Structure 1
Amino acid sequence: MSDTSPRGYASGRRRRDQVVAAAFAAFGTVGYRQTSMSQIAADCGVSRAGLSHHFPTKESLLEAVLDERDRRHALRFFEGAPGPGRDGLDHFARLVALTRANATTPGIVGLYAALSAEATDPAHPAHTYFTRRYENSRRHLALAVDDLRARDLLREPAVDSTRLAEEIIALMDGLQIQWLFSPRTVDMAGRLRARLTEIVRVELPDMSSASTTQS
């Protein structure tokens, strides 16, 4: 019988967090397909049955890892930020810092790239995650563009906010794929920064310290 007391709940939550952390590390280094649930259970020091209690399928664990990736990014790059609707320039700079940090986790970047294509199928377990993520990304970037327009910082003030947001997202995703093929020649962060600098009238703030500070 499961322990439903506060102590049992806290213990279960800690164990679940341990599993997600182990899966995050394994997916990021070995890859999603090459990582087995048995290996993750061994890394956490739990039985296969114990792992299944928290995550019945590998797909459910994958969703938790993707959510953990977003949580870490939010804490590391966006916590305490003014927000895209209040300072679009700051938001652009933080995206560059995030992209620079992604270059240190090729396994997670590869996983994201592969899954984002597979998840276009509504039946895919990560379909809802990616739908929500792209909607949020478009909304935040459009807010950033609107703020830059209001402050007269756009080189082309008449640009459509949503269309520009879609272009920036497409650039980021496309750079990731090219970087996976040629990590020594494709500078994701540098190329993104160059494009964002073309959009605004001023230099982007340097957020390099945010990209090197671990959460």
Structure 2
Amino acid sequence: MTAQVRKGYAKGRARRSEILDQAMTLFGEAGYRGTSLRLIAQRCGISHPGLLHHFPTKESLLLAVLEHRDAVDEVWLYAGDPRGVERLRRLADLTELNATRRGIVELFTLLAAEATSPEHPAHAYFVRRYRTSVADALRAYEEAAAAGYLRPEIDPALAARQLIALMDGLQVQWLLSDGATDMAQAVRAHIACQLTLNFAASTAC
């Protein structure tokens, strides 16, 4: 591969990353329906055909944005390799972060419901994502149990599924209450009732 070809690939990757960043921002601000490909192209300083070169449909861009958001969140979630209770605390903090990006939460919630159909283009993405999310929560609960911080009557496997269900269910309530529902407080209170130590000074079972 020549230096010129490598430079072209690097430029293409940088352009794709910029499109995803701008699309994620615009979807978060105006929602999926309120954001057009032309607007995203304009924000990136490229032509509409130029954007279609990277993402031929709005749907393909949407799936890429969801995966990109996961990648960005994972950098923050995994920073410092948190384990056990600290890992659960990061998951609770994630709900607080989501409260700052209504458009993305709305988009995720809508697609998660639609993607229960095996024919939906995002079906495989959500199957994989939920499997990974539950497994991640299970590992955190198991580590908390091994450290002696999980109440003996709490089953880590069941707790993991309950936590992910709670987080997603709260997003629906938060959207319908126009942001009045405190997602982070509810998640922290739920986790606090499962632990043998004070999860947060402001949280009590």
For residues 166 and 178 of structure 1, what CA distance do their matches in structure 2 show?
18
Post-superposition shift, 1:152?
2.2
TM-score (norm 2): 0.91
Q: Tell me if structure 2 keeps the 8 A contact 1:90–1:204.
A: no
Secondary structure, aligned partner of 1:122: coil
Secondary structure, aligned partner of 1:124: coil
The alignment covers a number of residue pairs equal to 199
Post-superposition shift, 1:77?
2.9
For residues 145 and 190 of structure 2, what CA distance do their matches in structure 1 show?
17
What does 1:12-27 correspond to in 2, within 5 Å?
Answer: 12-27=12-27
For residues 25 and 184 of structure 1, what CA distance do their matches in structure 2 show?
19
State yes or no: 1:189 paired with 2:204: no
In the other structure, the counterpart of 2:8 is 8
Q: Tell me if structure 2 keeps the 8 A contact 1:77–1:97.
A: no
In the other structure, the counterpart of 2:51 is 51
In the other structure, the counterpart of 1:97 is 93
For residues 149 and 108 of structure 1, what CA distance do their matches in structure 2 show?
33
- Taking structure 1 as reference, are residues 37 and 110 closer, same or farther at Cα in structure 2, changes over 3 Å only? same
Counterpart among 113, 119, 123 of residue 119 in structure 2: 123
Q: Percent identity?
A: 46
| Amino acid aligned to 2:63 | E
| Amino acid aligned to 1:185 | A
Q: Tell me if structure 2 keeps the 8 A contact 1:22–1:40.
A: yes
Q: Tell me if structure 1 keeps the 8 A contact 2:99–2:179.
A: no
| Amino acid aligned to 1:90 | E
For residues 179 and 35 of structure 2, what CA distance do their matches in structure 1 show?
26
In the other structure, the counterpart of 1:204 is 199
Q: Is the deviation greater in 175-184 or in 134-143?
A: 175-184
| Amino acid aligned to 2:190 | R
State yes or no: 1:164 paired with 2:126: no
Select the structure with the greater relative contact order (CA < 8 A; seq sep ≥ 6).
1
Q: Tell me if structure 1 keeps the 8 A contact 2:141–2:156.
A: yes
For residues 151 and 97 of structure 1, what CA distance do their matches in structure 2 show?
21
Q: What root-mean-square deviation, in Å, do the aligned CA atoms of Structure 1 and Structure 2 show? A: 1.7
For residues 62 and 46 of structure 2, what CA distance do their matches in structure 1 show?
18
Unaligned runs of 5+ in 1: 207-215
Unaligned runs of 5+ in 2: none
For residues 183 and 103 of structure 1, what CA distance do their matches in structure 2 show?
11
In the other structure, the counterpart of 2:174 is 179
